[in-house]
A = this chain, B = another copy of it.
Amino acid sequence: MNYIFGKRMNSIMHGGDYNPEQWLDRPDILAKDIEYMKEAGVNEATLGVFAWSMYEPREGEFHFEWLKQIMDNLYENGIYTILATPSGARPIWLDNTYPEVMRVDNMGNRNRHGIRHNHCLSSPIMREKISLLDQKLVEEVGNHPGLIMWHISNEFGGECYCDLCKRGFQQYLRKRYDGDINKLNHEWWATFWSARYNSFDEIEPPFKNGQTAIMGLNLDWKKFTTQNYCDYISVEIDTLRKYAKKEVPITTNFMKRFWDIDYRTLAKKIDVISWDSYPFFHNDQESFADTMLESGFDHAMMRGLKKDKPFMLMESAPGKVNWSPYNKLKRPGVHKQFALQTIACGSDTVQYFQWRKSRGAAEQHHGAVMDHLGTTDTRIFKEVAETGNVLKKIAEVEGSIPQNKVAIVFEWENWWAFEDAGGFSWHTKKYDTTCMEYWKALAALGVDADVISANDISNEYKVVIAPMLYSVTEAIADKMKRFVENGGTLLGTYIMGYVNENCLCYEGGFPGAGLSELFGLISEEIDTLYPSDRNGIRFVSGNEDTVLTVKEYAEILRVHDAEVLGVYTDDFYAKQPAFTVKSTGKGKAYYQAARCEDQALIDLLEVVLSSTDITCTRLAKGIEKHTRYTDDFAYTFYLNNSDENAIFEVVDGENLLSGEEVKGSVEIGPKECIVIKQWKES
């Protein structure tokens, strides 16, 4: 299906985390909540995220009456419920009675009760106890008419080094290496430093004071942990599905560029992608427009996890958060602009953490719709309510999706592998932000890009950019070759194809797995520059006056049969190739040998795109553009994220926000947006 839910909501979802269990002794508050939600245009509430100790205050003693009453009340007032399973935090009796449910850290010390994300994913008792609770939830409210989605646990993260997990890891490895310890020894290159194993039972996780020098082990540990999350979430999902009569979709909330878990793998377990976004607006390092672009990239990465359907913004702060280095106020209008960008990038929801500020504990000062003041005449409430209104105006975009022709590859396993690699610089690896730099450079050219897995490279895209793909499998290399042969344009970069999926270096020249042939070159050496070092790339023909500024990494190439487009300007490798292209079949494979600064990257990508039929239009500074499509319509969002009025050309159509027809050039104020609906070009 194309939409988040089986049926259309007939609106953008607007709501968020609601924790009425904190206010059960305050019927006045609970009554006002309903009244004010309606005033704010809220049509959804996420319940029960941390309610285990309320559901089951003592082992086997359950209380769901309050939940049913809240859900009834909400539903009667037109507000749907997303119901969380409460595994995000455990009641104290569980930890005290069964210490195995608490995690063990990388020094081997078991945590104590209290750390929020702290349950051992392997623990049979944890799995049993949460299953029982989930079953009760289904039995009690699983058929409630207001229930529209399950939300498993909360912001999964972290890892556990207990014996249960250790045995799970050994089992994982036994399977991965076909029960052949010498296969593992080879792939882990364990002869190095005398690290050879005689059996899988000897293997330990990479304890901080143990074996951390084997890249293959470190990487397998990360993969195992993701696998363990998948196994764990399956237990919860299976319970919900087993006892439910009513089929409602399932999600779990993800986080920004999250290191701990390969979300692509975990995403396969759930029905809908949802995530929690908290940009640091108005910081002291970048412009507001830059922060917005970063937010756009993060949405793109989430959307890419299930790109055939809209995603959900499960959490955001209507005001400020409580955990950034400087919790500066969101300036007026910023919340609405952020919400519109969210929709523009493919979300069908705008949700908050949380509806009402908690009076005490760690998040008492985290932004919420309702302040401690308790009234609706606050700036924040009014901005939320205005956002609710705006979302109603553009409700018809629900279910539409972007259709991009350019993709950027981002791989968790590559991220893990490269971050663990010596020989570069620990300070300048920047894999995730480098992928973002490509996305932002494309955005500056008016091109919206998907963020995908290397496994998803296909000719559905015209251009694929694979930044710093340090780890490449034979299968991915084959995909790339076929992609180019069939007419695709591929851009590979420095630090590509150094190792295989187990962090073993390729022999015979980088990029390995046959990619050196695809690009027509070998990277013989890589120079890791100090922060103050700079080099340049000069185009060989055409715009020879343009020098692209190079920083941080520069490879020295042996070009075999590629065309040299640019050469280095400085140092002992001056005049040597830095930017090349080789045609294969119907397509082209570009290679960028050095890291470029922002503006240089825009110039370089323009060259790459110019050989395709993708239109580049340099947008004015601070202007952002996104389009979503239904079968019949295209909805184009233009956001002005600059501090000035902006006048520019737009597509013709109807501005959903004003209801007016627009054509040609329009003027948009700072932090304003227009949403233009037009018949889809076909």
Task: Name A residues whose Cβ lies closer than 8 Å to a Cβ of B.
Answer: 19, 21-22, 25, 50-54, 57-58, 86, 88-93, 96, 105, 107-109, 111-116, 186-198, 202, 204, 206-207, 209-216, 283-284, 319-323, 325-329, 331-332, 357-366, 371-374, 378-380, 421-428, 499, 502-510, 522, 524-533, 556, 572
Looking at A88, A112, A190, A360, the one whose CB has the most chain B CB atoms below 10 A away is A360
Query: With A322-B422, A326-B530, A372-B507 as given contacts, are A105 and B209 in contact (CB-CB < 8 Å)?
Result: yes
Q: Do B328 and A527 have beta carbons less than 8 Å apart?
A: yes
Q: Do A360 and B50 have beta carbons less than 8 Å apart?
A: no
Residue of B nearest to A573 (CB): B329
What distance in Å separates the Cβ of A147 from its nearest Cβ neighbour in chain B? 21
Query: With A112-B209, A191-B21 as given contacts, are A528 and B361 in contact (CB-CB < 8 Å)?
Result: no
Select one of B53, B331, B360 contacting A505, CB under 8 A: B360
Q: List 6 A-B contacts (CB under 8 A).
A: A86-B194, A188-B361, A284-B533, A332-B572, A359-B505, A365-B423
Q: Do B198 and A360 have beta carbons less than 8 Å apart?
A: no
What are the residues of chain B within 8 A of A204 when measuring CB–CB? 112-114
What distance in Å separates the Cβ of A359 from its nearest Cβ neighbour in chain B? 5
What are the residues of chain B within 8 A of A52 when measuring CB–CB? 194
Query: With A327-B423, A328-B528 as given contacts, are A194 and B51 in contact (CB-CB < 8 Å)?
Result: yes
Select one of B211, B326, B530, B531 contacting A529, CB under 8 A: B326
Looking at A96, A195, A321, A510, the one whose CB has the most chain B CB atoms below 10 A away is A195
Task: List the number of copies, as a whole number.
Answer: 3
| Cα of A186 to Cα of B24 in the assembled complex, Å | 11
Q: Do A197 and B92 have beta carbons less than 8 Å apart?
A: yes
Residue of B nearest to A532 (CB): B284
Q: Do B323 and A422 have beta carbons less than 8 Å apart?
A: yes
What are the residues of chain B within 8 A of A115 when measuring CB–CB? 209-212
6 cross-chain pairs, A with B, having the tightest CB-CB distances, nearest first: A114-B211, A189-B360, A365-B423, A112-B210, A322-B422, A322-B423
Looking at A328, A421, A423, the one whose CB has the most chain B CB atoms below 10 A away is A423
Q: Do B525 and A329 have beta carbons less than 8 Å apart?
A: yes
Q: Do A54 and B195 have beta carbons less than 8 Å apart?
A: no
Residue of B nearest to A331 (CB): B572
Q: Do B427 and A326 have beta carbons less than 8 Å apart?
A: yes
| Cα of A36 to Cα of B434 in the assembled complex, Å | 39
Select one of B206, B211, B359, B530 contacting A328, CB under 8 A: B530
What are the residues of chain B within 8 A of A331 when measuring CB–CB? 572
Looking at A113, A194, A216, A364, the one whose CB has the most chain B CB atoms below 10 A away is A194
Q: Do B189 and A378 have beta carbons less than 8 Å apart?
A: no
Select one of B50, B423, B509, B531 contacting A194, CB under 8 A: B50
What are the residues of chain B within 8 A of A195 when measuring CB–CB? 53, 89, 92, 114, 361
Query: With A195-B114, A195-B361 as given contacts, are A373 and B527 in contact (CB-CB < 8 Å)?
Result: no
What are the residues of chain B within 8 A of A193 when measuring CB–CB? 50, 88-89, 116, 361-362
Select one of B191, B192, B207 contacting A112, CB under 8 A: B207
Q: Do B209 and A54 have beta carbons less than 8 Å apart?
A: no
Select one of B57, B332, B362, B524 contacting A373, CB under 8 A: B524
What are the residues of chain B within 8 A of A422 when measuring CB–CB? 322-323, 327, 362-366
Q: Do A90 and B194 have beta carbons less than 8 Å apart?
A: yes
Q: Do B53 and A194 have beta carbons less than 8 Å apart?
A: yes
What are the residues of chain B within 8 A of A196 when measuring CB–CB? 53-54, 57, 91-92
Q: Do B502 and A379 have beta carbons less than 8 Å apart?
A: no
Q: Do A374 and B507 have beta carbons less than 8 Å apart?
A: yes
What are the residues of chain B within 8 A of A329 when measuring CB–CB? 525-528, 556
What are the residues of chain B within 8 A of A53 when measuring CB–CB? 190-191, 194-196
Looking at A58, A90, A211, A427, the one whose CB has the most chain B CB atoms below 10 A away is A211
Q: Do B114 and A213 have beta carbons less than 8 Å apart?
A: yes
| Cα of A210 to Cα of B215 in the assembled complex, Å | 31
What are the residues of chain B within 8 A of A323 when measuring CB–CB? 422
What distance in Å separates the Cβ of A201 from its nearest Cβ neighbour in chain B? 10
| Cα of A374 to Cα of B508 in the assembled complex, Å | 6
Residue of B nearest to A360 (CB): B189
| Cα of A366 to Cα of B371 in the assembled complex, Å | 53
What distance in Å separates the Cβ of A87 from its nearest Cβ neighbour in chain B? 10
Q: Do B189 and A358 have beta carbons less than 8 Å apart?
A: yes
**Other contacts beyond A92-B196, A213-B362: 11, CB < 8 A:** A50-B192, A51-B194, A112-B207, A114-B206, A114-B207, A192-B363, A215-B360, A283-B530, A329-B525, A366-B422, A379-B556
| Cα of A505 to Cα of B204 in the assembled complex, Å | 47
What are the residues of chain B within 8 A of A114 when measuring CB–CB? 195, 204, 206-207, 210-213
Residue of B nearest to A54 (CB): B191
| Cα of A325 to Cα of B365 in the assembled complex, Å | 36
Q: Do B364 and A215 have beta carbons less than 8 Å apart?
A: yes
